[in-house]
Amino acid sequence: MKTIKLVIADDHELFRNGLKELLKRHEDIEVVQCVSDGEELIKFVKTHPDIDIVLLDITMPNMDGFEALNKLKSVNTNVKPIIISMHDDGNYIAKCAKMGAFSYLLKNTDQEELVKVVRIVSEDKKYFSPNISEKMIDYMSENTVSEDILSKKEAEVLLLISKGNTTKEIAAELYVSSRTIETHRANILKKLNVKNTAELIIKAVKMKLIS
């Protein structure tokens, strides 16, 4: 059985050692090297292209985990990064997934889970635990990047304008200040390249932005 060659990148020595001790007990996993920041990691990976997995922390001095993820792509290697972080927010998880992380683990993950993930990833498979996936999906659902001309809020404002509401009424309805609505309105006019409300309505209907 092929051993899994692994590098640990974390700035806390105690953590690195603890992790190393823990992994040592599994015969199919070999901790090749421990580094304390992203720079050291990149340097090491460049000279050792046979590394399978890197356990990568996000918060590190000199070069943090995000930047290291980016750099790893440009280094011609097979190394598969697994993020192991204290951060449990969807933002971090989504960002790491986007940047090519094969998995995302919290630092207090049980060793069974940890070893399980290392083995799955070593087979070139991405794996996110149900817990982590949920957080990521929550975040993504809240922050859909719209491809529409108008933002979601602008579309709402446009709809309320077309219904004949005044700026003040729209502001009260959408829980924003009057000035915010005025600015939205000005931005909508600019985006649709019209000069006044009448032109705006005509053009919006034509573009099927409102019915």
- Residue 124: exposed, middle, or buried by beta-carbon count in 10 A (0-12, 13-18, 19+)? exposed
27 binds another protein (CB under 8 A): no
By CB under 8 A, how many residues form the interface with another protein?
36
Please, which residue, 80 or 95, has the CB nearer to another protein? 95
Closest distance of CB 76 from another protein, Å: 28
98 binds another protein (CB under 8 A): no
25 binds another protein (CB under 8 A): yes
> Within the chain, what is the greatest distance between any pair of CA atoms?
74
Residue 90's alpha-carbon distances to 14, 24, 50, 60, in angstroms, are: 27, 31, 32, 20
110 binds another protein (CB under 8 A): yes
The answer to whether residues 158 and 150 touch, using CB atoms and an 8 Å cutoff, is yes
Please, which residue, 48 or 99, has the CB nearer to another protein? 99
Cα–Cα distance measured from residue 75 to residue 79, given in angstroms and rounded to the nearest whole number? 9
Residues 111 to 170: which contact another protein by CB under 8 A?
A: 111, 142-143, 145, 151, 153
177 binds another protein (CB under 8 A): yes
Which amino acid appears at position 50 of this protein?
D
Cα–Cα distance measured from residue 24 to residue 18, given in angstroms and rounded to the nearest whole number? 10
Q: Which residues bind another protein (CB under 8 A)?
A: 10, 12, 14-15, 17-19, 21-22, 25, 59, 86-89, 91-92, 95, 107-108, 110-111, 142-143, 145, 151, 153, 174-177, 179-180, 183-184, 187
